[in-house]
């Protein structure tokens, strides 16, 4: 199986309303170029430096796709990240939102679309807003989204979650369902110009089917398209 056929088969299998963001971490620009030529529309990267290198190597192909920051964004990388990415999926505190907001204009942009990252499993090893620590979470999220929307240079476009990783994707179902409920509640409650709840980003290679059944409209896929990752 090749990257081209893996991607094209998935694109046929996954409903049209679901955006596929390819997770490119550790993959070479040659592999990513193949994915773009196969029709990929959205690329996700976890590290600012890695994304910059890949984009430089891609040449003109780089403008054919939207670039998503899907990794933890450190404060000292925001300046560098802003020109590289079209969307930041990992806003997980008001402080981070403000730190980004302050730097958008300097990066030559007016607005950057963001997703709010929720750590739906309350896992210490992962970033994202933790429901257990922010009770009552549904109310907290409404407030959080409206606070972020007051920042002039951010636009809230949805929710992202990693969800706990299980061998059996069925075990993720209830976490995805809860994330979807939070997403729908914000969509129902918050009507502000800088909030447009379009994307529910959840589901990875092992769990995307369950995530889509539970309402995801944006999946982030690495392994199933590119094959196993080898870390150096």
Helices 173-189 + 137-149 axis angle, to 10: 50
Considering the rule CB under 6 A, would residue 200 count as an interface residue with ligand PLP?
no
Considering the rule CB under 6 A, would residue 96 count as an interface residue with ligand PLP?
no
CB of 205 to ligand PLP, least distance (A): 3
Considering the rule CB under 6 A, would residue 223 count as an interface residue with ligand PLP?
yes
Considering the rule CB under 6 A, would residue 23 count as an interface residue with ligand PLP?
yes
Tell me how far apart the alpha carbons of residues 89 and 44 are, in angstroms, rounded to a whole number.
9
Vertex 100: Cα angle to 191 and 176 (nearest 5): 55
Q: Which residue has the tokens 């409206």?
A: 146
Tell me how far apart the alpha carbons of residues 15 and 196 are, in angstroms, rounded to a whole number.
22
CB of 162 to ligand PLP, least distance (A): 6
Which residues in the 150-179 window bind ligand PLP by CB under 6 A? 162
Residue with the CB atom nearest ligand PLP in the bound state: 222
Helices 137-149 + 94-104 axis angle, to 10: 10
Site string for ligand PLP, 99-128 (x = CB under 6 A): ------------------------------
Q: Which residues contact 18 (CB under 8 A, 6 or more apart)?
A: 212, 216, 217, 218, 219
Q: Could you tell me the CA-to-CA distances from 154 to 3, 5, 89, 91, 144 in Å, in that order?
A: 34, 37, 12, 10, 13
CB of 227 to ligand PLP, least distance (A): 9
**Candidates 74-82, 135-143, 183-191, 219-227; binding stretch for ligand PLP (CB under 6 A):** 219-227
**Paired tokens of 59:** 């040449």
CB of 181 to ligand PLP, least distance (A): 21
Among 4, 8, 25, 38, binds ligand PLP (CB under 6 A): 25
Q: Which residues bind ligand PLP (CB under 6 A)?
A: 23, 25, 46, 70, 162, 204-205, 220-224
């Amino acid at each position: 199986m090749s990257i081209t056929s893996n991607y094209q088969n998935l694109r046929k299998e996954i409903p049209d309303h679901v955006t596929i963001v390819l997770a490119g971490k550790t993959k070479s620009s040659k592999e990513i170029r193949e994915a773009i030529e196969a029709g990929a529309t959205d690329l996700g990267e976890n590290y600012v430096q890695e994304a910059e290198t890949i984009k430089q190597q891609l040449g003109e192909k780089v403008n054919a796709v939207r670039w998503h920051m899907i990794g933890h964004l450190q404060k000292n990388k925001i300046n560098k990240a802003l020109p590289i990415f079209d969307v930041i999926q990992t806003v997980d505190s008001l402080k981070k939102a403000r730190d980004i907001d302050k730097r958008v204009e300097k990066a030559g942009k007016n607005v950057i679309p963001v997703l709010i990252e929720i750590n739906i499993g309350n896992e210490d090893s992962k970033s994202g807003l933790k429901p257990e620590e922010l009770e009552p979470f549904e109310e907290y999220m409404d407030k959080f989204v409206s606070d972020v929307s007051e920042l002039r240079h951010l636009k809230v476009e949805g929710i992202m979650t990693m969800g706990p990783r299980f061998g059996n994707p069925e075990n993720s179902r209830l976490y995805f369902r809860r994330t979807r409920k939070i997403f729908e509640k914000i969509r129902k409650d918050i009507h502000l110009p800088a909030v447009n709840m379009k994307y529910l980003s959840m589901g990875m290679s092992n769990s995307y089917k369950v995530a889509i059944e539970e309402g995801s409209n944006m999946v982030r896929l690495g392994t199933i398209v590119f094959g196993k990752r080898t870390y150096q």
